[in-house]
């Protein structure tokens, strides 16, 4: 009698089976292997975000040149891009919200490796380049902002 009452009590007690426990451990292992490195290593997100920000700044410089019918320049250094009305950057151009000076600064570990120090757009929005301009951005991976020679079209 004792053995049968023990078995009855065991069936009424709740618990997890070995299969359920192993399945939970496998799912947790997959999440740890895939999701955690993406959340912890945000340098790749910073790099991609800065590339998008740099491309938007160059696009804005072209649109500003067209709308104001004057030359607008983007001064490129290893760590930032600044909008100017002259090639020497003595006269700073406003940003989309009217802020002056308008500059986008690269996050830590991200750098611009531009072959040009200053990219200019004339009043018609045409860039002052002889061929397609490739502005490499290096960080967690290599990205490129491209400016077309004829139209000034900016893409990445």
The pLDDT of residue 2: 60
Alpha helices (runs of H) in the chain, residue ranges in sequence order: 2-12, 18-40, 43-68
Sign of CA dihedral 76, 81, 82, 86: positive
Mean pLDDT of the chain: 89
Taking CA atoms, 116 is separated from 13, 14, 40, 85, 91, in Å, by 74, 70, 34, 17, 19
* Alpha-carbon span 137 to 145, nearest angstrom: 8
**pLDDT over 90 for what percent of the chain?**
71
Residue 136 and residue 114 in contact, taking contact as beta carbons nearer than 8 Å:
yes
The rounded Cα 77 to chain-centroid distance in angstroms is 18
CA torsion, ordered 90, 93, 97, 101, to nearest 10 deg: -10
The widest CA-to-CA distance across the chain, in whole angstroms, is 99
pLDDT digits (tens, 9 = 90+) for 11-55: 666 788 999 999 999 999 988 888 776 666 678 888 999 999 999
pLDDT at 1 over 60: no
Neighbours of 104 (CB within 10 A): 18
Q: What is the model's pLDDT at position 156?
A: 87
pLDDT of 142 reads 92
Nearest to 73 by CA among 129, 153, 136, 111: 129
Burial degree of 76 (CB within 10 A; 0-12, 13-18, 19+): buried
- pLDDT tens per residue, range 48-75: 999 999 999 999 999 999 999 999 999 9
Whole-structure pTM value? 0.74
Query: Is residue 147 pLDDT above 90, yes or no?
Result: yes
């Amino acid at each position: 009698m004792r053995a049968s009452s023990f078995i009855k009590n065991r069936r009424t007690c709740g618990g997890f089976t070995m299969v359920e426990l192993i399945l939970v451990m496998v799912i947790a292992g997959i999440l740890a292997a895939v999701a955690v490195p993406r959340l912890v290593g945000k340098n790749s997100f910073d790099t991609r975000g800065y590339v998008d920000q740099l491309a938007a700044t160059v696009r804005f410089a072209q649109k500003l040149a067209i709308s104001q019918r004057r030359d607008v320049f983007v001064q490129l250094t290893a760590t930032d891009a600044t909008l100017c009305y002259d090639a020497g950057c003595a006269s700073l151009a406003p940003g989309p919200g009217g802020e002056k000076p308008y500059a986008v600064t690269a996050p830590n570990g991200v750098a611009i490796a531009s072959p040009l120090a200053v990219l200019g757009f004339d009043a018609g929005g045409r860039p002052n380049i002889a061929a397609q301009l490739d502005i490499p951005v290096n960080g967690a991976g290599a990205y490129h902002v491209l400016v077309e020679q004829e139209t000034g079209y900016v893409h990445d």
